[in-house]
Structure 1
Amino acid sequence: MWSLCAVLLVVVMLTVMIAWGKVQPLLAFVVAAMAAALMLGVPSEKIPGAIEKGIGDLLGSLVVVICVGAVFGKLIADSGAARRIAIGLVETLGPARMPVAMTVTGFVVGLPLYYNVGFVLMIPLIFSLVAQSGRPAVALGMPLLAGLSIAHGFLPPHPSPTALVAAVQADLGTTLLYGLIVALPTLCIAGPLFALTLKRIRAQPAPVFQGAPIPEHELPGAFASFATALLPVLLLGAFTLATLLDPALSRPLAFFANPLVVMLASYLVAVYTLGLGRGRTLAQVMASAQEALREIAPILLIIAGAGALKQVLTEAGVSAQLGAQLASLPVPPLLLGWAVATLIRVCLGSATVAGLTAAGVVGPLVESTGVNPNLMVLAVGAGSLMFSHVNDSAFWMFKEYFGLSLKDTFRSWTAMETLAGTFGIVFVLILSLLVG
């Protein structure tokens, strides 16, 4: 009980420091991490090392991908390619079908892409469509981001669902099929339907992706714009499909299928197709990259802070304690798996970490109760999406890119993730009545 109270106190402290005291988020995270470590009994000599490890681990996996994604997106915006794509989509689909198009785009892109990679890749397109259509940024972008997040939480080959399949001895193909059945109605509710309630939220998008207006006749061609912008998606999708069809290819393609390599290769292609090939000098293209990196630095610092807090809570053994306490309760197995993942998600922030940590609790549960293991993977996936808040790097990425207040971020992002997790478990329970 004390562990849960300590985590809640730290979350309140962090929120007050940032929202009321206007403390720089990285400093607030470090202070909150130290306070959490002391309250949870982490030896004082281990606290600095835990904070440094948390920052290093999270930034180590994200920093290059986010930076390359930022310069890639900036080049798409500055070259006019994003505007060309926006014009094409608006003309083809019409304003009335834009939310549906964004929902489908987010889900399809989210199938092969990690959430953070897909977010960075799609943000320039969202902002360009906002400028082209005049729609509110949050209401327009939320269906796409919901698609990315739900695919990340529910469906293989994303890390958490894939690891869960192995942990509970589920079948990958069956889990993917059931996952699609659960994910699609969940996405309709958490995406376009929920977005209808967000039209009054006014965003101030980060200027990094808002290039200077270019006359339409000077924009790059439609094929070059679409092909270059979607190249990372196409490459990752192709590599993922190839390894699914022939698992023996996973090792030879591991290097080329890495998101970092794909993003870097896509940026090099963009440098030519949208820069050098259109008469721009390398110095002009690199000036755009330098500006993008300056703009992205504050977001990286916030993500670093979230990593520090996550690591301290991990070192304290909070997730293991709470999971063990919950496992002793008389709760239906699927609901229990969802609740375990939810608590870990609230405490640690990362959906992937929540799913992977919950696997250690629900694995023996599946064996002892005989519950459908494929449905358990989805129940845990739903719980891993719940209550995204200030210890989740995705929360801060959404807030900073869209330029929102904490209140509006809770009202939009946190609510969307909670709807996805809530309706996800509802549809899992309904499906369990049909397939056992």
Structure 2
Amino acid sequence: MPLLVVALSVVALLFLMTRLKLNGFIALLLVAVAVAVVQGIALEEIPEVLADGVGGQIGDTMLVVGLGAMVGRVMGDSGAAQRIAMRMADRFGDRWVQVAMVVTAMLIGVTMFYEVAFVIIVPVAFTLVRMTGKNLLWIGLPMSIALSTMHSFLPPHPGPTAVAAMFDASIGKTLFYGLFIAVPAGAFVALLWPRLAFVRKMNPSIPTGLVSDRSFTDEEMPGMGWALSVALFPVVLIAGASVAEMAAGEHAPGMAFVAFVGSAPIALLLTLVLAVWAFGPRIGRPLGEVAASCNDAAKAMAMILLVIGAGGAFKNVLVEGGIADYIKDLTDGWSISPILLAWLIAAILRIALGSATVAVTTAAGIAVPLVAGSGIHPELMVLAVSCGSIAFSHVNDPGFWMFKEYFNLSVLDAIKARTTYTTVLAVLGLGGVFALQAALDALGV
């Protein structure tokens, strides 16, 4: 049974990493090969399947994570990240620093991918941890939860946007309705989770090399205007491109250039160039020092990228093994609410495959015929599928490994923190969809 294979592979991975203390990159590849053999993938095809998985994941991630880490390290080594962190601490105080992180993450995360927004904000979170002496998860976890919610629930993020097209739903309405679910659910979980006893027991250290250990004087730090401008520059480019596309359409004159500049890799590359100048020659720092900051960031990212890539290989083996088709056949005859069915299928696929994209598109393909004549708003079906796809993030999800490595957690602690919060977000999202359906029906909309 394919789902049993998934369960046993997760157990094997946990055993290799927790009991045998095997490196995550090696453990993921070993389990991926074993699953490929069990699933009947031809031996001569297994290397290609692994390579495609690693290549697809690294291709999507390396430029964003690598450039983002360099921007963060340049800002950290110049004192710019400390300047922003100090201003946030002064304005909000230690008591409200979590609220500051949630608000910042939600505003940036509305239009930016989880990975992009994460690498932009996390240097500030690291600096706040050093300044305040707070637990890393006390400050970093609310940021991650808020970003996960925005990325998974709302267009213009890729999953909800693709599903909106399949259901012929309005992107604008989906975003409008989704905010009523994402903001309260995300804020509630973001502020609650760091306070739970099992999370408070975790006290991870900041990963070496991702942030400067130096404490700057006020005179040594760049001005707040420059620090904030560089931090927000990629946000403006990426968000501006998304807004322009929604307002003018992707085929409008000049949109090709806007889309190019607003793509995450190009936006971050331009930001890095700006950061190198603004926090280098502009303030009298030699370019060699700035280049050393970029090199240090690249070295620190090497193992993180290897683990994320191996997670992509594991995911691809599960996809190529036909588990998505098995689940689709299994759920074809279920006669339950279309909203609940779409959510369940997306959640099951997410557990089995780790890929939110595969989960939402497959679940939507099954649920699309059920919408006609059901009286359910297509925008709510989009939200139901999107909410289901965030559930149960675990070891077959490359995003899980990014979360684990950046927060320097053990596998078990990462499961306790991330798998639980993504599942609760998914359940709260489903409840929100049902509540919105009832409200719209009551209003006769």
Tell whether the structures are fold-level matches, with TM greater than 0.5.
yes
Structure 2 residue aligned with 1:225: 227
Q: 2:385 aligns with which of 371, 380, 389?
A: 380
Confirm or deny: 8 A CA contact 2:89 2:97 kept in the other structure: yes
Superposed displacement of residue 256, structure 1: 1.0
For residues 418 and 264 of structure 1, the distance between their equivalents in structure 2, rounded to whole angstroms, comes to: 34
Structure 2 residue aligned with 1:336: 341
- Partner of 2:40, secondary structure, is coil
Instruction: Determine if the alignment matches structure 1 residue 360 to structure 2 residue 365.
Output: yes
Structure 2 residue aligned with 1:135: 134
Superposed displacement of residue 207, structure 1: 2.3
Letter in 1 for 2:63: V
Structure 1 residue aligned with 2:27: 28
Letter in 1 for 2:116: V
RMSD: 1.5
Instruction: Determine if the alignment matches structure 1 residue 326 to structure 2 residue 331.
Output: yes
Structure 2 residue aligned with 1:38: 37
Instruction: Determine if the alignment matches structure 1 residue 7 to structure 2 residue 6.
Output: yes
Structure 2 residue aligned with 1:244: 246
Confirm or deny: 8 A CA contact 2:112 2:235 kept in the other structure: yes
For residues 323 and 19 of structure 2, the distance between their equivalents in structure 1, rounded to whole angstroms, comes to: 27
- Partner of 1:208, secondary structure, is coil
Structure 2 residue aligned with 1:210: 211
Superposed displacement of residue 353, structure 1: 3.1
Superposed displacement of residue 167, structure 1: 0.4
- Partner of 1:251, secondary structure, is helix
Structure 2 residue aligned with 1:98: 97
Structure 1 residue aligned with 2:259: 254
Instruction: Determine if the alignment matches structure 1 residue 315 to structure 2 residue 316.
Output: no
For residues 189 and 293 of structure 2, the distance between their equivalents in structure 1, rounded to whole angstroms, comes to: 35
Confirm or deny: 8 A CA contact 2:79 2:221 kept in the other structure: yes
For residues 353 and 54 of structure 1, the distance between their equivalents in structure 2, rounded to whole angstroms, comes to: 14
Structure 2 residue aligned with 1:290: 295
Any unmatched runs of 5+ in structure 2?
Answer: none
**Superimposed CA distance per residue, residues 148-203 of structure 1 (whole angstroms, 9 cap, x where no aligned partner):** 11111111101010010000111111111110111112112221122222333201
Structure 1 residue aligned with 2:76: 77
- Partner of 2:219, secondary structure, is helix
Any unmatched runs of 5+ in structure 1?
Answer: none
Q: 2:237 aligns with which of 214, 219, 235?
A: 235
Superposed displacement of residue 268, structure 1: 0.3
Superposed displacement of residue 370, structure 1: 4.5
Superposed displacement of residue 407, structure 1: 2.2
Letter in 1 for 2:268: M
**Superimposed CA distance per residue, residues 1-34 of structure 1 (whole angstroms, 9 cap, x where no aligned partner):** x011111111111111111111222221111111
For residues 117 and 11 of structure 2, the distance between their equivalents in structure 1, rounded to whole angstroms, comes to: 30
Superposed displacement of residue 365, structure 1: 2.7
**Superimposed CA distance per residue, residues 325-383 of structure 1 (whole angstroms, 9 cap, x where no aligned partner):** 12322321111111111111112213233223322222223236453211111111111
Structure 1 residue aligned with 2:308: 303
**Superimposed CA distance per residue, residues 87-119 of structure 1 (whole angstroms, 9 cap, x where no aligned partner):** 111111122221211111111111111111111
Instruction: Determine if the alignment matches structure 1 residue 121 to structure 2 residue 147.
Output: no
Confirm or deny: 8 A CA contact 2:72 2:211 kept in the other structure: no
Confirm or deny: 8 A CA contact 1:386 1:418 kept in the other structure: yes
For residues 375 and 33 of structure 2, the distance between their equivalents in structure 1, rounded to whole angstroms, comes to: 42
Structure 1 stretch displaced more, 328-337 or 291-300: 328-337
With structure 1 as the length reference, what TM-score do the two structures score?
0.96
Letter in 2 for 1:316: G
Q: 1:420 aligns with which of 418, 421, 425?
A: 425
Letter in 2 for 1:366: V
Identity of aligned residues (%): 36
For residues 409 and 366 of structure 2, the distance between their equivalents in structure 1, rounded to whole angstroms, comes to: 36
**Superimposed CA distance per residue, residues 277-297 of structure 1 (whole angstroms, 9 cap, x where no aligned partner):** 111111111111111111100
For residues 70 and 411 of structure 1, the distance between their equivalents in structure 2, rounded to whole angstroms, comes to: 26
Identify if the C-alpha distance between structure 1 residues 265 and 315 changes in structure 2 by more than 3 Å, giving closer, same or farther: same
Structure 1 stretch displaced more, 304-313 or 130-139: 130-139
Instruction: Determine if the alignment matches structure 1 residue 411 to structure 2 residue 411.
Output: no
For residues 293 and 209 of structure 1, the distance between their equivalents in structure 2, rounded to whole angstroms, comes to: 9
For residues 263 and 283 of structure 2, the distance between their equivalents in structure 1, rounded to whole angstroms, comes to: 29
Superposed displacement of residue 128, structure 1: 0.9
For residues 119 and 293 of structure 2, the distance between their equivalents in structure 1, rounded to whole angstroms, comes to: 16
Instruction: Determine if the alignment matches structure 1 residue 150 to structure 2 residue 155.
Output: no
Confirm or deny: 8 A CA contact 2:52 2:316 kept in the other structure: yes
Structure 1 residue aligned with 2:170: 171
Equivalent residues in 2 for 1:53-92, closer than 5 Å: 53-92=52-91
Confirm or deny: 8 A CA contact 1:190 1:417 kept in the other structure: no
Structure 1 residue aligned with 2:183: 184
Identify if the C-alpha distance between structure 1 residues 252 and 225 changes in structure 2 by more than 3 Å, giving closer, same or farther: closer
Letter in 2 for 1:229: A
- Partner of 2:209, secondary structure, is helix
**Superimposed CA distance per residue, residues 186-241 of structure 1 (whole angstroms, 9 cap, x where no aligned partner):** 11222112222233320111122331222222111111111112211122122222
- Partner of 1:45, secondary structure, is helix
